[in-house]
Amino acid sequence: MAIILKEKTADDDILMPPVNFSMVEDGIYRSGLPQPSNFSFLKTLNLRCIIYLCPEPYPEENLKFLEANNIRLFQFGIEGKTEPTVSLLKDAIMDALKILVDVRNHPVLIHCKRGKHRTGCLVGCLRKLQNWCLASVFEEYQRFAGVKSRETDKKFIESFDVLSLRHCLYSIIYRYHGYGSKKRRLLYKEDNVQKPQMTSV
C-alpha cells in the first residue's frame, strides 16, 4: 500500500511581520507599509486602529483587510520625499499623538512607507511625552532610520513642545493613570466637553 504524504510548504507556518516591525510598548506597534503577505501576522495583534502617516491613498487590498477585521484607519498625510514645513509637521504629529495616547485605540499600529522617518518622528515625540532623555530618543530613531537618518527629524523631535500636547489633553479632560503599564486606563468626562475632531478614513 502506498502512502501519499502532502508536502508542507514553508509558508504554512510562517507569520511574516511588515518591514521594520517592532513593539513600541504594550499595545503600540510600528512598521513600514504592510503587504498582503503580512496580513496573517497582523491578525495576531488584534489591532483596533492603524495610524498611517503618508499622503498617498491607502492600498485597496489593505483597506479590504481593515474592513474584514474591523480595524479603523487614521491617516495623517505627511510628505516623505520633500520635507514638510515645521508647522504642518507639528500639526500632523500633534493630531496623531492624540489618537496614539488614547488607550481606547489600542492595540494600534503606526506606519509610513518604510517605518523610518515619519514613524520615527511620531515615536520620538511619544518618547518625549513619556519623559525619555533625548539621547535614548535619538538612539531609537537611529536604530530604525539607519544610514538614512535625518538631522531635520532629530531637530524637530528635540524642539517638539510636549507641554502644548499635555495642555491640550487636559483641556479636553483626559486623565492618564499608570501610562505605559498594564494597569493604565483612560478616564474621559463626557459632560459639557467638546470631543476632539479626528480625521479618519
The answer to whether residue 154 sits within a structural domain is yes
CATH number for the domain including 94? 3.90.190.10
Q: Identify residue 117 by its one-letter amino acid code.
A: H
Active-site residue list: 112
Residues 27-40 pLDDT 10s: 999 999 999 999 99
Q: How many domains does the chain have?
A: 1
Instruction: Please give the model's pTM, rounded to 2 decimal places.
Output: 0.76
Region 53-75: what's the mean pLDDT?
A: 94
Whether residue 4 is contained in a domain is answered as: no
Flag whether 40 is in a domain.
yes
More confident position, 24 or 195:
24
pLDDT in tens, 128-153: 888 899 999 999 998 998 877 788 88
Task: Report the DSSP pairing between strands 72-75 and 185-188.
Answer: unpaired
- The DSSP code sequence of the chain is ---PPPPPPGGGT---PPTT-EEEETTEEEESPPPGGGHHHHHTTT-SEEEE--SSPPPHHHHHHHHHTT-EEEE----SSSPPPHHHHHHHHHHHHHHHT-GGG-SEEEE-SSSSHHHHHHHHHHHHHTT--HHHHHHHHHHHHGGG--HHHHHHHHH--HHHHHHHHHHTTEEEESTTSTT-EEEE--TT-PPP-----
User: Whole domain around residue 138: which residue ranges?
Assistant: 22-177
In a domain, residue 129? The reply is yes
Distance CA 95, CA 90 (A): 9
* Residue 192 counted as domain residue: no
Asked whether residue 7 is assigned to any structural domain, the reply reads no
Question: Does 63 map to a domain?
Answer: yes
Which of the two residues, 125 and 177, has the higher pLDDT score? 125
- Does any domain span residue 198? no
